[in-house]
Amino acid sequence: MISWFHIPPAQRPLFSLFVPALLVLALCCFCSLLFGAGGLSLQASFQTLLGNGSADDQFTVFHLRANRTLVGLFVGLTLGIAGALMQAVARNPLAEPGLLGVSAGSSFAVAITLVLGASTATLTVGIAQLGALIGCICVLSVARMQGQHNDPIRLVLAGAALSSLLLAVTSLLLLFDQRAADEIRFWVTGSVAGRDTNTLFSLLPSMLIAGLCILYAAKPLASLALGERVAIGLGHKPQRIRAVVIVAVALLVGGATAIAGPVAFIGLVVPFAARALVGPDIRRTLWLCLPLGPIIVIAADVVSRLVAQPAEMPLGVLTAIIGAPVLLLIVRSRRMPTL
């Protein structure tokens, strides 16, 4: 009897992982409705879910907690997929929107709109996505010029440099505007609590476009993993694939940042876990990222409510604490895996 773990990741049937992952995701969502900081006890939450709770309890469970679960679902989905795409296009396992300054570009754009008079509630999503696009192009063009296959570290350094630059300019803007500084103080931590779900609906068109981009690019991206020449030989156009993928990443990351603020390391952890489970093929990785991203974000969010009761720990801090060890793990692995 060969155990499942003896099958090499690349040969494992996808559905044998996808279906259990969906079940785990459902469990996470259930926990997210059940657990929480504050006065509502576990039993009361359960009773409310069954339909017999007071109006206050129903508001807590079906409005507050349901909303943040929904936002967590969205953020995990977008950031996980964006991380996988970015790593595939940069052929670098360390490429992560948070580390590479894509989120910082988005934050910068958001800070500008705040200073110009918008409040976080009426924030225009398109601007966050535009900022993400500019950050993405900046950092990937730096890496491209160097021949990214040889030096995975350079990309991270370029990202760190870009992030620190953008953060400095952001703080510069906020120096002039006290109100914006007060608003952004809560936003930059990255959290799924108390976010406006109406923004989710306004994001739907851009997510549709991102989805179409991914559908177009997934197969060529898989052949790009074999090398640029092979991809050209197979009739693909690497430049065009990259452009499409960058647009998709910008739409996804910009959308997630507009809703939840910069949440780092999700784009690193999710594809890492997915690759470990189903191997390096980008199409299989993307499928598994779909449930894995929300699982990790929602689980982290539930933990963030429970560890520091009665207060809450912001999600961004928790993901940094989960993500940094994974970063070290990738770097410490004997041979820096190239994609």
* Residues in contact with another protein by the rule CB under 8 A: 94, 98-99, 138, 142, 145-146, 153-154, 156-158, 160-162, 164-165, 167-169, 171-172, 175-176, 181-182, 185-186, 188-189, 264-265, 311, 313-314, 316-317, 320-321, 323-325, 327-328, 331-332
Distance from C-alpha of 306 to C-alpha of 28, rounded to nearest angstrom = 14
Give the Cβ contact number of residue 227 at 10 Å.
13
Q: Which is nearer to another protein, 220 or 262 (CB)?
A: 262
DSSP state of 263: -
Residue with smaller CB distance to another protein, 16 or 164? 164
Which long-range contacts does 64-68 make (Cβ < 8 Å, 24+ apart)? 64/36, 64/194, 65/32, 65/33, 65/36, 66/33, 67/195, 67/197, 68/32, 68/192, 68/193, 68/194, 68/195, 68/301
CA distances from 217 to 88, 140, 213 (A): 11, 17, 6
**Minimum CB separation from another protein for residue 152, in Å?**
9
Cβ-based nearer residue to another protein, 80 or 98 = 98
CB 35: neighbour CB atoms within 10 A?
16
> How many Cβ atoms from other residues are within 10 Å of residue 154's Cβ?
16
Whole-number minimum distance, CB 244 to another protein, in Å? 24
**Nearer Cβ to another protein, position 170 or 285?**
170
Q: How far is the CB of 102 from another protein (least distance, A)?
A: 14
**Min dist. Cβ of residue 285 to another protein (A):** 22
Residues 6+ apart with CB under 8 A from 237: 220
Alpha-carbon dihedral 95, 101, 103, 104, rounded to 10 degrees:
170
| Distance of closest approach, residue 262 Cβ to another protein, in angstroms | 9
Q: Considering beta carbons, is residue 98 or 294 the nearer one to another protein? A: 98
Tell the smallest beta-carbon distance from residue 48 to another protein (Å): 29
Q: How far apart are CA 246 and CA 85, in angstroms?
A: 8
Cβ proximity to another protein: between 170 and 223 the closer is 170
- Choice between 80 and 152, CB closer to another protein: 152
CB of 292 to another protein, least distance (A): 21
